[in-house]
Amino acid sequence: MPAYTTGGVIRRRPILVFLAIAFGFSWLVGLGLAVAGGLRSPALPVLLLVYMLGPGIAALVVSRWVDRPDSIPRALGVSQVRPVGRFVALLLGAVVLAVVLVLGALAVGALFGLYRADLVGFSGFRAYLEQVAPAALSRVSMGTVVLLQFLNVLIGAFVNVIPALGEELGWRGWLLPALLPAGVPTAVVVSGALWGIWQAPLIALGYHYPGGPAWLGMLAVICFAIVIGALLSWLRLRTGSVWPAVLARGAINAAAGLPLVFLAYGTTFTPLTTTILGWSGWLLPAVLIAVLAWRGQFRLDREPWLAPVPGRPSAGPGTGQGAPRLDP
């Protein structure tokens, strides 16, 4: 039977509590980062990780003490991992989708003349390696080094599971289903926009969009979050699980260095216009979203691709029925 429904009314109190915790926790960490020196702070990696945990913490707190579904893991999409073979295939497929979108963004940027690529000599990447690791190219070929970058993306997607889960457990695991009574388009757009606004303190510090006006960076990250959030929402709704969205999010982060790999020597680019963070990088995902919508892939009456492990049925987020269960 379908895992989601647009029936009922939006329960505002759990949503407001979730947003207060998610924004309050992360923005407080963002304030600490600003005081500690911003993006130049030696504590940046740790504080970024803690920042990203905010939505996940909010989802767990609201599920445990406010929303109170029958089974928290099922309600958040954590226990939907069967059949195992399909689950593994979907995780790998999510990583491939993320990498294709990142590379597709570079191709579209090149088509518009916003990104100059060197797919033969990898001249920009070679020049970078000659500065930071000159001995590396004397031991292995440039082609091997480039192939290793894709292996790094695959490994990085799984390494990034913890910070990505911190985001996705909140935005797609809890908030998206909680907003579904307003309709799928509204739930997808609003959850994506809130994800973008949540990143405002980091953008104000120059994260993602260095050198440009902060207001323009904030507008850009909201657009990015709506577009990419729509695909992550599709993964959540279609599979019934939060894990494919988590891996896709982790892979996008892990693939952040690929624009440097293919960049032609002596050229540069700006994230506001190219890469998956810029407007030209949103075109391919937007087309994919339109095709998925046309094919009915966002409909909630479809059987999800994954099922939860055996256990007591869950009423899902926003029902407020019964004491919460932490078992699957």
For 256-271, the pLDDT digits (tens) are: 999 999 999 999 999 9
Place of tokens 């990088």: 281
Confirm whether 281 is domain-assigned: yes
Contact 170, 59 (CB under 8 A): yes
Predicted pLDDT of residue 266: 96
90 is a domain residue: yes
Q: What is the pLDDT of residues 92-141, one digit of tens each?
A: 999 999 999 999 999 999 999 999 999 999 999 999 999 988 877 888 88
So what's the pLDDT on residue 323?
46
Task: State the DSSP string of 60-106.
Answer: HHHIIIII--S-HHHHTT-SEEESHHHHHHHHHHHHHHHHHHHHHHH
pLDDT for the residue numbered 150: 96
pLDDT score, position 4: 64
Give yes or no for a cis peptide into 83 (omega within 30° of 0): yes
Per-residue pLDDT of the chain (328 residues; tens, 9 = 90+): 456 666 678 999 999 999 999 999 999 999 999 999 999 999 999 999 999 999 999 999 999 999 999 999 999 999 999 999 999 999 999 999 999 999 999 999 999 999 999 999 999 999 999 998 887 788 888 999 999 999 999 999 999 999 999 999 999 999 999 999 999 999 999 999 999 999 999 999 999 999 889 999 999 999 999 999 999 999 999 999 999 999 999 999 999 999 999 999 999 999 999 999 999 999 999 999 999 999 999 999 999 999 997 755 444 444 444 445 555 5
Determine, yes or no, domain membership for 8: no
Residue 104 lies in a domain: yes
**Per-residue model confidence (pLDDT) at position 201:** 98
- The answer to whether position 167 is within a domain reads yes
Q: Is residue 118 part of a domain?
A: yes
Partnered with residue 103 across adjacent β-strands are none
Task: Let me know if residue 42 belongs to a domain.
Answer: no
Q: In this predicted structure, what is the pLDDT of residue 250?
A: 97
**Alpha-carbon distances of 5 from 203, 223, 268, rounded to whole Å:** 35, 26, 47
Cα gap 105→113, rounded to integer Å: 12
The size of the chain, in residues, is 328
Q: Does any domain span residue 33?
A: no
Domain count, the chain: 1
Q: What is the pLDDT of residue 314?
A: 41
Residue 139's domain comprises: 84-308
